[in-house]
Amino acid sequence: MRAGQVLRISIKGLSTNMLRSALTALGVIIGVMAVVALLSIGRGSQKAITSNIASMGTNLLFIAPGTTTVEGVGQGFGTALTLTSEDADAIAAKISSVAAVAPEVSVQTQVVAVRQNTRTAVVGVTPEYQSVRNYPVAEGDFFTLADMQNRSAVVVLGSSVASTLFPDSDPVGQTITINGYTQTIIGVLVSKGSTATGSLDDRILTPLSSLQMRFLAQTTSTGEHVVSIINVQVASAGEIDTTIQEITALLEERHRITPGNPDDFIITNQQDVIAALRQSTEVWVLFLGVIAGISLLVGGIGIMNIMLVSVTERTREIGIRKAVGAKKSDILLQFLTEAALLSFAGGGLGVLAGLGVSHVISGINLTGQAIQTVVSADIPILAVSVSAAIGIIFGLYPALRAANLKPIDALRYE
């Protein structure tokens, strides 16, 4: 039997009961729609996370202090007081592949404006921090080297802190109180959103020297000023590995770490952070796909159920066709084609519905974060391919059952 004849007979068989065929295809439509919509949400979340990290700056290294031990239990990296401003100065002066260095110290504290207050991170940084970590100013100015040298009582607000403390007025030029010290607001940062570690807008930046003098005067036994992290911008991506080795050697020398002993600091590559997050979000995307695939599986079961009913109802038709010369393969191909048509039609309509849902929910604000969706070409292709495969797999048993009917038994069927 030719392909055109099989297709024509299959369409006629499905159109005999249009409502039943439409409801059967509906299960596939919902399943494919769920796959496309959920995978697009997963891909959008993945893109948002990696792009937010990339927006911190490029070719970055993060140097954090080592770990302290309390009663034999390590407290985790960042708890030791091993990194200093002087370490940052040495890196900037001695490592030729370093473009800029920006140490920072952070403290969580209460901040008070005229009528509002909030608890946020006050971060002491140098002027280089703005370019190294890519923090443009939306209004006002960033502090200068002169502010650092004079330990000026000035601050730059993150966008969310600015909207919390000054919801109805321009904060630039006004003052806030931090731990009893009055600070003048000279700028507001551009909003940068959130990462896996929290909001990048919920912070206040102040000159490092000012914070060390007023809020957090931590020093080592040799009198050097402690910092919580050193941000290093490498001149080019190709020099990152060499730079890590040179910084490690320099800090080991400065901290008098002898060969064979563990370092009291850790250096993290920005690209390693992005790669680790991308890998973890891939698991999340896969998990969403599996959840959506369950509804597609239910649609396949619906196709099998309806095809079995169709075989039972058309038993005499099958017997007559066999009696006039139809082969077993002809009957098998006919019913497989009917199942494939249902799944293909459902898959195509499901993709359109999924794209529509993705477009509608993109940008919706949920728990303070806007939903971002990304639909790449592989998502609809995967969804349609899986739906077609499910239709053929679940349609195989009813087709075999129809093909294996004996003509005499089929003709006797009432």
Q: Which of 155-164, 278-287, 295-304, 318-327 has the highest mean pLDDT?
A: 155-164
Q: What is the mean pLDDT of residues 116-130?
A: 91
Cα 104 versus chain centre, distance: 27
How far apart (Å, rounded) are the C-alpha atoms in residues 339 and 5?
A: 16
How far apart (Å, rounded) are the C-alpha atoms in residues 232 and 63?
A: 8
pLDDT tens readout for residues 326-357: 777 777 787 788 788 888 888 888 889 888 88
How far apart (Å, rounded) are the C-alpha atoms in residues 203 and 120?
A: 6
Comparing 93-102, 236-245, 363-372, the range with the smallest average pLDDT is 363-372
How far apart (Å, rounded) are the C-alpha atoms in residues 363 and 224?
A: 48
The H or E element that residue 389 is part of is helix 378-403
Q: How many CB atoms lie within 10 A of CB 377?
A: 7
Comparing 60-69, 89-98, 246-255, 270-279, the range with the smallest average pLDDT is 270-279
pLDDT-based confidence at residue 185 (cuts at 50, 70, 90):
very high
User: Could you tell me the end-to-end alpha-carbon distance of the chain, in angstroms, rounded to an integer?
Assistant: 28
* In the predicted structure, residue 96 carries a pLDDT above the cut 70: yes
pLDDT (0 to 100) of residue 348? 87
Cα 108 versus chain centre, distance: 27
Phi, psi of 24 (to 5 degrees): -65, -45
* In the predicted structure, residue 72 carries a pLDDT above the cut 50: no
Percent of the chain at pLDDT > 90 equals: 26
* In the predicted structure, residue 188 carries a pLDDT above the cut 90: yes
Beta-bridge mates of residue 63: 230, 267
Q: What is the pTM of this model?
A: 0.64
* Interstrand relation of 73-77 and 365-366 (parallel, antiparallel or unpaired): unpaired
Q: What is the mean pLDDT of residues 83-100?
A: 91
pLDDT-based confidence at residue 54 (cuts at 50, 70, 90):
low
pLDDT (0 to 100) of residue 324? 72
For the chain, what is the mean pLDDT? 81
